[in-house]
């Protein structure tokens, strides 16, 4: 099975089969998980957690296999079959029982795990092992986030703060240490979203509904050959005295573009405290499904 869907999230970049979709996610960097499903059910689960020391791999896998949910509570250490695949140590007891792969990243003190629903030889060879092989760290600056069709590359001081995922409606909110905010959205079914309005009329209305004060809207622009709209806006400061005093941040920059081939609408909105330098959208967003 070819792995054509690329994923980039906290601590990992990897490739999974094209028909695997993320069906559950966590935003927290400290601890969380991503769940992948296809139409037959859950296919894989990736999780991360803080861990000060490297755990004993075999014992950790064994205790997972012995847990009630896996259905093999009597597994002994002698039954455990293990392989090293890429950075991961993969372990399982029987073909029909789940398998777990573990990797410890000492530099970030993180324990990464993959859990797959079975350990059938054909699936191990064609899918699970190639996924583990494809895993690479997602560290340093800039850092990539690629999930639900949004591909963002942001400096390391930007943290993902919020994510909203509805059918064909995804929103990622990043915030930097200096309180700059970056919002990336991706909508499907553009005819339904636009409701007969032009891109400019729709976007202006949308930004107003978000509570922004629009100062300029420029239509007829292009973004990589796609019809786009640019806007400037002001919004009430989000932090400390700015919020308390109701002081406006005036440097809001927004852009919407319509990828007619992909049938998606993307937007990127940025704002920050006075005199803050915003990111170049060209370097932040890569638009593809």
Other CB atoms within a 10 A radius of the CB of residue 163 amount to 17
What x-and-dash track marks residues 165-184 binding another protein by CB under 8 A? Answer: -xxx----------------
Among positions 29, 58, 159, 262, the unique one binding another protein when judged by CB under 8 A: 262
Interface with another protein, residue 121, by CB under 8 A: no
Nearer to another protein, 155 or 188 (CB): 188
Q: Beta partners for 46?
A: 34, 114
State the number of binding residues for another protein (CB under 8 A): 19
Tell me how far, at minimum, the Cβ of 45 lies from another protein, in Å. Answer: 16
> 139, 138, 135: which is closest to 114 by C-alpha?
135
Interface with another protein, residue 227, by CB under 8 A: no
Interface with another protein, residue 188, by CB under 8 A: yes
Q: Give the interface segment with another protein, choosing from 35-43, 49-57, 69-77, 276-284 (CB under 8 A).
A: 35-43
Other CB atoms within a 10 A radius of the CB of residue 157 amount to 13
Rounded-to-integer distance, Cα 230 and Cα 225, Å:
14
Q: Give the interface segment with another protein, choosing from 53-61, 164-172, 218-226, 243-251 (CB under 8 A).
A: 164-172
Tell me how far, at minimum, the Cβ of 164 lies from another protein, in Å. Answer: 14
Q: Strands, E, within 71-157: which ranges?
A: 81-85, 88-92, 99-105, 110-116, 143-147, 150-154
Q: Which two tokens stand for residue 201?
A: 């009329």
- 81-118 exposure pattern, b = at least 16 Cβ within 10 A, e = fewer: eeeebbbbbbbbbbeebbbbbbbbbeebebbbbbbbbe
Interface with another protein, residue 263, by CB under 8 A: yes
* Binding positions for another protein, rule: CB under 8 A: 19, 21, 23, 37-41, 166-168, 188-189, 191-192, 262-264, 289
């Amino acid at each position: 099975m070819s792995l054509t869907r690329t994923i980039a999230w906290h601590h990992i970049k990897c490739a999974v089969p094209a028909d695997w979709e993320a069906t559950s996610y966590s935003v927290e960097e400290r601890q969380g998980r991503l769940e992948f499903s296809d139409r037959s059910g859950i296919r894989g689960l990736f999780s991360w957690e803080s861990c000060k020391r490297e755990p004993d791999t075999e014992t950790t896998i064994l205790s997972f296999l012995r847990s009630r949910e896996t259905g093999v509570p009597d597994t002994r250490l002698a039954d455990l079959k293990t392989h090293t695949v890429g950075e991961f140590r993969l372990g399982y007891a029987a073909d029909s029982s789940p398998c777990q792969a573990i990797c410890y990243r000492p530099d970030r003190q993180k324990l990464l795990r993959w859990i797959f629903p079975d350990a059938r030889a054909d699936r191990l060879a064609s899918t699970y092992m190639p996924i583990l092989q494809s895993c690479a760290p997602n560290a340093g600056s800039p850092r990539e986030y690629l999930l639900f069709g949004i591909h963002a590359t942001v400096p390391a001081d930007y943290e993902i703060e919020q994510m909203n995922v509805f059918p064909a409606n995804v929103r990622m909110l990043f915030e930097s240490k200096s309180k700059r905010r970056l919002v990336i959205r991706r909508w499907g079914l553009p005819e339904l979203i636009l409701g007969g309005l032009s891109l400019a009329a729709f976007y202006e209305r949308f930004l107003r509904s978000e509570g922004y004060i629009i100062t300029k809207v420029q239509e007829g622009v292009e973004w990589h050959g796609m019809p786009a709209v640019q806007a400037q806006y002001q919004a009430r400061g989000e932090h400390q005295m700015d919020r308390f005093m109701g002081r406006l941040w005036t440097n809001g920059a927004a852009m919407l573009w319509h990828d007619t081939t992909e049938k998606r609408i993307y937007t990127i909105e940025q704002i920050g405290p006075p005199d803050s330098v915003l990111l170049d959208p060209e370097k932040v967003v890569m638009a593809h499904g």
